[in-house]
Amino acid sequence: MRELKGFAKVQLAPGETKTVTIPLGDRAFEFFDPKKNQWTLAPGTFDVFIGASSRDLRLSQAVKIQTD
């Protein structure tokens, strides 16, 4: 399952490059736990994908979340 957690619309001229930053805080890795009635940060490894669209993924990185 994939979820959109951030995006940026960028216009480029032909041949132009630009660095884009999309911060992903704790909330990007939380889920709503109905038993606790609150958002919960679950430990684990998450794959973060970057692309032009959901069908055009160009980069990926595994992110490990550790909780206390």
The reported pLDDT for the residue numbered 39 is 95
Whether 16 is in a domain gets the answer no
Percent over 70 (pLDDT), the chain: 100
Q: Does residue 9 lie in a domain region?
A: no
Which residue range is the domain that position 35 belongs to? 26-65
The answer as to whether 53 is a domain residue is yes
Six token digits for residue 34: 């109905």
Enclosing H/E stretch for 52? strand 44-53
Residue 45, domain member (yes or no)? yes
Global model pTM greater than 0.85: no
The answer as to whether 37 is a domain residue is yes
Residues lower than pLDDT 70 in the chain: none
Residue 18 lies in a domain: no
Question: What is the 8-class DSSP label of residue 64?
Answer: E
Number of domains, the chain = 1
| CB contact at 8 A, 61 and 47 | yes
The Cα–Cα gap between 11 and 25 comes to 25
Q: Give the CA distances from residue 63 to residues 3, 26, 48, in Å, rounded to whole numbers and listed in that order.
A: 15, 12, 7
